[in-house]
């Protein structure tokens, strides 16, 4: 556990005690993640290459004897992030049987419902306090970190046997079935399984048993994660994440295959799709899988230039083929390259959110200063360096 995580746990323990008047019985945390390359491939049974960020969601919990079974009282600093007008210290009393409200509390209910399914029985009444340093809507998996942290804290509180891979699949189901977002398993899996200073190359060809291999990050180089200032909205409106998912499914149906990741780059020349949009979606997924393979090999070999080129072509593909970038993100990437970044790409589900940059350590400060000077709404979320 890092020093930052220990400090967060001490802080949240105090916050829980202040809020409820008694001590927390369990504390857990989960990191944010950034996907270095491999976007919109996980739900297409493809390859991804994410890593952890030094930002965490922390949850303190105790059994609350004053509320009935399958009920939770929760207080969170998310109220501050939402600028909801509610004072810090506001509590929500939630039933695991209620329908979603379109609030962050939906993720609490969704995650605890999965624990309830796992134990095949009711949960005792719970008190929770949640604090997160992960900004919502930035494309670095604030929702998945919350889901994993919640499952972890209840696992420890109730002494339930749940493995890390099972936690990941439970968190994914929470998002798929209750929240209604057909996300893949990447976010939850890397948050559950990865470790510091390494990326995790995950192969989702077998969705039931994904395989994964770690690779060390580059020395003397930095991955900067920059929030564009524009929050993404993956579950809202037409033409976004759900539409892309449906288009990939339709392409598989027309090509009579189970997933787009069955196709090779050579197959792109011979497929029978007539719809231009579907052709673009297919080309992105197939080429992106190849880029992940090349980027993973570049990490192993220490080849900075190959990795950076994979990042740059990945962004172009998301912009032109998958069409999940936005003009403000494109400009941010272009200007970052002009100010010394070797690689720049949108990361996360797209339609806003964050970019990830690869830069030599000695150019990091110049790049940071240039971004913040030209984009007042932008914010440096994290930097990853290897000692």
Same domain? For 29 and 142 the reply is yes
pLDDT, one tens digit per residue, over 14-65 is 999 999 999 999 999 999 999 999 999 999 999 999 999 999 999 999 999 9
Same domain? For 179 and 289 the reply is no
- Asked which of 87-101, 226-240, 248-262 is least confident by mean pLDDT, the reply is 226-240
Q: Of 153, 183, 214, which residue is a domain's last?
A: 214
Q: Of 145, 180, 214, which residue is a domain's last?
A: 214
Same domain? For 278 and 379 the reply is yes
CB 96 within 8 A of CB 71: yes
Looking at residue 160, what DSSP letter applies?
Answer: -
User: What is the three-class DSSP state of 1?
Assistant: coil
Q: Is the pLDDT score of 106 beyond 70? A: yes
Q: Of 184, 214, 244, which residue is a domain's last?
A: 214
Q: Could you give the angle at the alpha carbon of 54 between the alpha carbons of 200 and 179, nearest 5°?
A: 75
pLDDT at res. 5: 47
Structurally, the chain folds into a number of domains equal to 2
Burial 285-298 (b: 16+ CB within 10 A, else e): bbebbebbbbbbeb
- pLDDT range class, residue 231, cuts 50, 70, 90: confident
pLDDT, one tens digit per residue, over 293-334 is 999 999 999 999 999 999 999 999 999 999 999 999 999 999
Tell me what the mean pLDDT of segment 209-215 comes to: 94
Q: What is the CB neighbour count within 10 angstroms for residue 257?
A: 14
CB 80 within 8 A of CB 132: no
| Cα separation, 213 vs 87, whole angstroms | 44
Tell me what the mean pLDDT of segment 187-195 comes to: 94
Assign residue 129 the CATH number of its domain: 3.30.230.10
Same domain? For 192 and 299 the reply is no
Same domain? For 89 and 172 the reply is yes
Which residues 6+ apart lie within 8 Å of 40 measured at CB?
A: 244, 248, 284, 285, 288, 318, 322, 324, 349, 350
Q: Could you give the angle at the alpha carbon of 69 between the alpha carbons of 64 and 71, nearest 5°?
A: 70
Which residues 6+ apart lie within 8 Å of 18 measured at CB?
A: none
Tell me what the mean pLDDT of segment 161-176 comes to: 96
- pLDDT range class, residue 183, cuts 50, 70, 90: confident
Same domain? For 202 and 270 the reply is no
pLDDT, one tens digit per residue, over 242-272 is 899 999 999 999 999 999 999 999 999 888 8
pLDDT, one tens digit per residue, over 358-373 is 999 999 999 999 999 9
Assign residue 277 the CATH number of its domain: 3.30.70.890
pLDDT at res. 135: 83
Q: Which of 42, 70, 106, 187 is catalytic?
A: 187
Global confidence as pTM = 0.85
Note if 187 is an active site residue: yes
Range of the domain at 358: 218-384
- Give φ, ψ of 11 to 5 degrees: -60, -45
């Amino acid at each position: 556990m890092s020093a930052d995580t220990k400090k967060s746990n001490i802080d949240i323990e105090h916050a829980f005690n202040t809020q409820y008047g008694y001590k927390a019985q369990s504390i857990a945390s989960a990191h944010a993640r950034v996907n270095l390359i491999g976007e919109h491939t996980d739900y297409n049974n493809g390859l991804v290459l994410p890593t952890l960020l030094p930002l965490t969601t922390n949850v303190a919990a105790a059994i609350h004897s004053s509320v009935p079974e399958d009920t939770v009282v929760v207080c969170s600093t998310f109220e501050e992030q939402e600028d909801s007008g509610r004072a810090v210290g506001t509590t929500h009393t939630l039933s695991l049987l209620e329908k979603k409200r379109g609030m962050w509390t939906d993720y609490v209910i969704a995650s605890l419902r999965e624990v309830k399914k796992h134990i095949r029985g009711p949960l005792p009444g719970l008190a929770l306090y949640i604090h997160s340093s992960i900004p919502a809507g930035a494309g670095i998996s604030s929702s998945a970190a919350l889901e994993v942290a919640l499952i972890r804290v209840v696992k420890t509180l109730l002494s339930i046997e749940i493995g890390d891979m099972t936690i990941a699949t439970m968190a994914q189901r929470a998002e798929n079935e209750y929240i209604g977002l057909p996300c893949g398993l990447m976010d939850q899996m890397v948050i559950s399984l990865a470790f510091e200073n390494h990326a995790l190359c995950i192969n989702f060809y077998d969705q039931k048993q994904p395989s994964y291999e770690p690779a060390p990050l580059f020395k003397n180089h930095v991955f900067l994660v920059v929030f564009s200032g524009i929050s993404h909205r993956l579950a809202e409106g037409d033409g976004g994440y759900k539409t892309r998912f449906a288009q990939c499914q339709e392409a598989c149906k027309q090509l009579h295959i189970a997933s787009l990741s069955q196709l090779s780059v050579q197959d792109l020349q011979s497929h029978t799709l007539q719809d231009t949009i579907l052709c673009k979606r297919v080309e992105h997924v197939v080429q992106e899988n190849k880029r992940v393979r090349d980027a993973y090999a570049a990490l192993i070999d220490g080849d900075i230039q190959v990795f950076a080129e994979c990042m740059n072509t990945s962004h172009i593909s998301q912009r032109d083929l998958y069409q999940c970038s936005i003009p403000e993100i494109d400009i941010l990437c272009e200007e970052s390259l002009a100010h010394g970044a070797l690689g720049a790409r949108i990361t996360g589900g797209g339609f806003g959110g964050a970019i990830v940059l690869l830069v030599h350590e000695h150019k990091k400060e110049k790049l940071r200063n240039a971004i913040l000077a030209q984009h007042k709404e932008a914010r440096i979320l994290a930097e990853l360096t290897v000692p």
